[in-house]
Structure 1
């Protein structure tokens, strides 16, 4: 499947390049070629293709260890609070614990308009 996808991408690109060079070119001959829609966006297209190729070439398994441990910890905490009728206390604690991070994200968003970088102060 990966090879088919890569082959199709390369073939579509080479097909367009081949049409550009078909029949040669001289000063008197007007070059007529199909447009791809990516004219002027070659760098962006190259970066996107690089991401596709890196994704297709990835052979290692996704590491679930840390995410699984965090999810299990959160679910265990919620279950403990539920079993001991402490949900309100858990929510209050979570709000206070995450408040500094959320305030940092808010400051960054108000300053830059970008909420994707929560770790910058």
Structure 2
């Protein structure tokens, strides 16, 4: 209906099309994020490999790539990941004690997941 009213004005059909295209350009970028859910950490699991070493894995659901994972809670944690999966290798601070590893993930829009933790005894 707005298109008709613009066509019937002195601007003509060409100006009406330009006005509609110009209006589309003014849509804020934040509108593209509308309805996007933040990432969720799923399937977090850690296991001791002996000699104070451990391995953790998890997957991410929701959000938009690329995802970045932030691991903490043990000494010398290094991580790697791709396509919504993340892994970390680490060294326990003390052999034979309970160790807790924490992870938070952010997505391509900068949304953060709720933190997740996994505890185990490091061998």
TM-score tier after normalising by the smaller chain length: under 0.3
Point out which structure has higher relative CO (alpha carbons under 8 A, 6+ apart): 2
More helix by proportion, 1 or 2? 1
More strand by proportion, 1 or 2? 2
TM-score normalised by L of structure 2: 0.21
